[in-house]
């Protein structure tokens, strides 16, 4: 078994277990932190546990190895193929940039972080998502215009996530600068960066490959809602 197989489950049962809500064979992050969840295996028992863990009307984001099949009490809201990519590059890609000021983001920046992710749609992001790890940003005139950070953490690996740039500032290399710094910090801890990206996001995939990421597996992102 690859150490990144069912990565959300591994995160929620190891390094980030303290941020998890659990029931049977299902886990999820505290909703204010993240909408991500996981099941031990895509079985009837796994999905039954997940449905019981959710309140009526709540949604959860899963990464599945096969397309979601209808299950009692769980409606499919959205699905899309997504790639899991792992860093295989050399340290040269992680050199620090000194020509752009990078700031660490935290609770005081939460509203701006949510606003930026709602505008750019890099993936689920909540008011307390910044608690999952280090988040870095670039500001202009006091306004957050780009950011990147850490999300899932499993033994030996940390996920790079929430990579986004305000549409008015695309093309300036901010995503690459922030990613490289996040990755450098992960590598300094003796860990390997990995990430998830929609298969249709060709522009982002090209950037990630230039930074040294390689495709590992095709997954199926599914947003499920408890119906009853």
Residue 55 DSSP SS3: coil
Q: Please check whether residues 107 and 196 belong to one and the same domain.
A: yes
Give a yes or no: residue 113 inside a domain.
Answer: yes
Q: Please check whether residues 61 and 139 belong to one and the same domain.
A: no
- How confident is the model over 19-71, as pLDDT tens digits? 999 999 999 999 999 999 999 999 999 999 999 999 999 999 999 999 999 99
Q: Please check whether residues 64 and 135 belong to one and the same domain.
A: no
Alpha-carbon torsion 23, 162, 64, 79, what sign?
positive
90 has a pLDDT exceeding 60:
yes
Number of domains in the chain: 2
Q: Please check whether residues 114 and 206 belong to one and the same domain.
A: yes
Tell me the whole-structure pTM to 2 decimals.
Answer: 0.94
- How confident is the model over 141-199, as pLDDT tens digits? 999 999 999 999 999 999 999 999 999 999 999 999 999 999 999 999 999 999 999 99
- The per-residue pLDDT for 96 is 65
Residue 123 pLDDT level (bands cut at 50, 70, 90): confident
- The per-residue pLDDT for 186 is 95
Give a yes or no: residue 1 inside a domain.
Answer: no
130 has a pLDDT exceeding 60:
yes
Range of the domain at 177: 85-218
Residues of the chain with pLDDT > 70, as a percent, come to 96
Q: Please check whether residues 113 and 211 belong to one and the same domain.
A: yes
Give the distance from CA 105 to its chain's centroid. 16
Q: Please check whether residues 12 and 58 belong to one and the same domain.
A: yes
- Specify the DSSP class assigned to residue 18: G
Alpha-carbon torsion 80, 207, 195, 117, what sign?
negative
Please give the C-alpha separations between residue 84 and each of 21, 22, 78, 97, in angstroms, as whole numbers.
Answer: 24, 25, 18, 26
Q: Please check whether residues 68 and 120 belong to one and the same domain.
A: no
């Amino acid at each position: 078994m690859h150490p990144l197989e069912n990565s959300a489950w591994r995160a929620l049962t190891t390094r980030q277990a303290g941020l998890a809500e659990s029931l049977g064979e299902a886990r999820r992050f505290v909703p204010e932190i993240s909408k991500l969840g996981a099941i031990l295996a895509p079985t009837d028992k796994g999905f039954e546990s997940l449905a019981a863990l959710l309140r009526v009307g709540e949604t959860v984001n899963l990464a599945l190895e096969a397309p979601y099949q209808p299950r009692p009490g769980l409606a499919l809201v959205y699905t899309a193929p997504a790639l899991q990519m792992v860093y295989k590059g050399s340290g040269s890609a992680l050199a620090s940039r000194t020509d752009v000021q990078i700031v660490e983001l935290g609770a005081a920046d939460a509203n701006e972080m949510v606003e930026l992710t709602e505008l750019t749609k890099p993936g689920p992001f909540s008011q307390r998502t910044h608690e999952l790890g280090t988040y870095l940003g670039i500001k202009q005139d006091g306004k957050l215009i780009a950011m990147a950070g850490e999300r899932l953490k499993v033994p030996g690996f940390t996920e790079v996530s929430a990579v986004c740039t305000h549409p008015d500032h695309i093309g300036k290399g901010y995503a690459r600068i922030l990613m490289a710094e996040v990755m450098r910090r992960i590598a300094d801890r003796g860990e390997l960066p990995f990430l998830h990206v929609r298969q249709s996001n060709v522009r982002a995939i090209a950037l990630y490959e230039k930074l040294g990421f390689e495709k590992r597996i095709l997954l199926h992102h599914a947003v499920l809602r408890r119906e009853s």
